[in-house]
Amino acid sequence: MASMQEIKRRIKSVEATRKITKAMELVATSKLRKSRNQLEQLKPFYSNIQQIVAQILSGKRNVYDSKYLVANNVEKSAVIVIASSLGLCGGYNSNIFKLAKQTIKQTDLVYPIGTKASNFARKNYGDVNDEYAGLNTSIDYIQLTRLVSSLIRMYEKGEIGAIKILYTEFVNNITFVPHEITLLPVDPSDFDDVEVTNKDTLFEPNADEVLGKLIEMYLQASVYGYLVESITSENASRRTSMETATDNADELKENLLLKYNQARQTQITNEISEIVAGANAQ
């Protein structure tokens, strides 16, 4: 049996670790609340843009040959991969990387967001641009619009055939599902469910130009939404795993305390029997 001193030292170390995991849990909880609010705030912006895109698509059939809706037959795609910058968040990163390994081709251009994603991309793919790797900590909308606009320019020039994004959907506080979404070309059937009220809307200067500009804003809002949702998943995942770690620490401490008391009891019994033996000998 381990000595009392040794057990005591272990209890102290478990207590210290528990304090850290508990603190991380609290931090993740408050960050989770913040990113959920952000997601909430974005909703009206996103749904309004979606509504107008649906409006244009429903009213004017002739925009269906718009370059944003028809694939341009270029093999190469640009893929945005959203992961975290810090570890200790359960399976959040490994789940998204597992999906990435299945879906991203060697020829694709990878845009990692988060330092973990950037390390992953550099190790596995040749064509990596990590200019925007810090977006998951800054959550800067202006910087994000720059990323999306530059991708759209590349698509327009025919350098890439599609823009895809790998993100983690936030289902609820304990369920997160990684997904791959194709942002461009836009699939018009995505808008079939959106309710359209005014079918004969006037477009100025014309529907094509409005659609072009609108698609850009729509993609910016989508990518921002996916980014915020991934961050929400990350924080929720970290919160859950830190909660488990704290619970484990509690359990461990309880077991160690039991052992410590047992060791103490054994020592006392030994001492008593020694004293009794000594007294008897006299």
Binding-site ranges for another protein (CB under 8 A): 40-42, 44-45, 48-49, 52, 55-56, 141-142, 145, 150, 153, 197-198, 200-205, 209-210, 213-214, 217, 220-221, 224
Q: Which is nearer to another protein, 48 or 244 (CB)?
A: 48
Q: Which of 56, 186 has the CB closer to another protein? A: 56
- Cβ pair 56, 203 in contact under 8 A: yes
Q: Which strand (E) or helix (H) includes residue 113?
A: strand 109-113
175-184 and 162-172: which strand pairing?
A: antiparallel
32/227 with CB nearer another protein: 227
Closer CB to another protein, 56 or 162, in the complex:
56
Q: Position of tokens 């959040």?
A: 92
Question: Which one, 125 or 218, has the nearer CB to another protein?
Answer: 218
To the nearest whole angstrom, how small is the minimum distance from the Cβ of residue 213 to another protein? 5
- Of 96 and 148, nearer to another protein (C-beta) is 148
Peptide bond into 185 cis (omega under 30): yes
Contact 125, 106 (CB under 8 A): yes
Q: Minimum distance from CB of 84 to another protein (Å)?
A: 22
Q: How far is the CB of 212 from another protein (least distance, A)?
A: 9
Q: Which is closer to another protein, CB of 80 or CB of 245?
A: 80
Between 44 and 278, whose beta carbon lies closer to another protein?
A: 44
Closest approach, Cβ 43 to another protein, in A, equals 8
Q: What is the C-alpha to C-alpha distance for residues 96 and 198, in angstroms, rounded to an integer?
A: 41
Q: What are the C-alpha distances in Å from 113 to residues 15, 35, 234, 276?
A: 35, 16, 13, 72
- List the one residue out of 124, 52, 95, 82 whose CA is nearest residue 232: 82
| Element containing residue 21 per DSSP (H, E) | helix 4-59
CB of 46 to another protein, least distance (A): 8
CB of 209 to another protein, least distance (A): 7
Q: How far is the CB of 150 from another protein (least distance, A)?
A: 8
Q: How far apart are CA 208 and CA 57, in angstroms?
A: 10
Please report how close the Cβ of residue 204 comes to another protein at its closest, in angstroms.
Answer: 4
Sign of CA dihedral 53, 58, 62, 66: positive
Q: Give the three-class secondary structure for 232.
A: helix
60 within 8 A of 210, measured Cβ to Cβ: no
Compute the distance between CA of residue 12 and CA of residue 257 in angstroms, rounded to an integer: 11
